[in-house]
Amino acid sequence: MKKYFAELFGTFWLVFGGCGSAIFAAGYPELGIGFVGVSLAFGLTVLTMAYTVGHISGGHFNPAVSFGLWVAGKFSAKELVPYIVSQLVGAILAGAALYLIVSGKSEFESIGGFAANGYAELSPDGYSMQSAFIAEFLLTMFFLLIILGSTNERAPKGFAPIAIGLGLTLIHLISIPITNTSVNPARSMSQAIFAGGDYLIQSWLFWVAPIAGSIVAGIIHKALFDKE
């Protein structure tokens, strides 16, 4: 159970810190942190939790990561569903906490997009479903390659969370204008549940594309990089 609670708390922190920075601080008048700040926030959540609980659960905090590690032979199939459930619970609890906070603002009327992911009319810069799918697929694939490579037994010890956190920061710097950046089905689902409407309808893409990308990464790593 410690592993599942570690995944719950880690995913909670990822969604609360990353999406919270987007909701509360990204566009704050004159002092807003912008895309760069939000990108750093997501990277820092993963980096800090990887050091905090990564030694307990492996620090997935993302269903796509769990799938990729399973395909690469680094994770047990019997743990896949419990990990994903733990991640979803953590993400949804974080979404609920964010909702309670933002709804307490004076003159509150609506949560708006709530840092949810989307394509076409819900894309921050109007990118199509095809563009969103390609971006989410490729970025998740490379994210998993970073994770698998930096945690490999032949990699330098103790630095994996830094590489993974910076990798996620870079991913957000690339793709916030495209989809608001997912590469994580739990992060997408938690925000779509509260944003509702078309965000919830479009959430399928943010399951399919990241998981497909992670599976391809697992295959690539196992075939090309895992053994000399």
DSSP characters for 114-140?
TT----GGGSTT---HHHHHHHHHHHH
Look at residue 158 and tell me whether its pLDDT is greater than 80.
Answer: yes
Look at residue 22 and tell me whether its pLDDT is greater than 80.
Answer: yes
The full set of domains in the chain, from first to last, is: 2-225 (1.20.1080.10)
**In angstroms, how far apart are the furthest CA atoms of the chain?**
61
The pTM for the full model equals: 0.97
Q: Among 96, 82, 80, which residue's Cα sits nearest to residue 20?
A: 96
Is 181 in a helix, a strand, or coil?
Answer: coil
| Mean confidence (pLDDT) of the chain | 96
Look at residue 107 and tell me whether its pLDDT is greater than 90.
Answer: no
pLDDT value for 180 = 98
pLDDT band at 228 (very low <50, low <70, confident <90, very high): low
Q: What is the pLDDT of residues 174-206, one digit of tens each?
A: 999 999 999 999 999 999 999 999 999 999 999
| Distance separating alpha carbons of residues 192 and 75, to the nearest angstrom | 28
Look at residue 124 and tell me whether its pLDDT is greater than 70.
Answer: yes
Contacts of 143 (CB under 8 A, 6+ apart): 64, 65, 164, 167, 168, 171, 183, 213, 214, 217
Q: Among 88, 77, 90, which residue's Cα sits nearest to residue 16?
A: 90
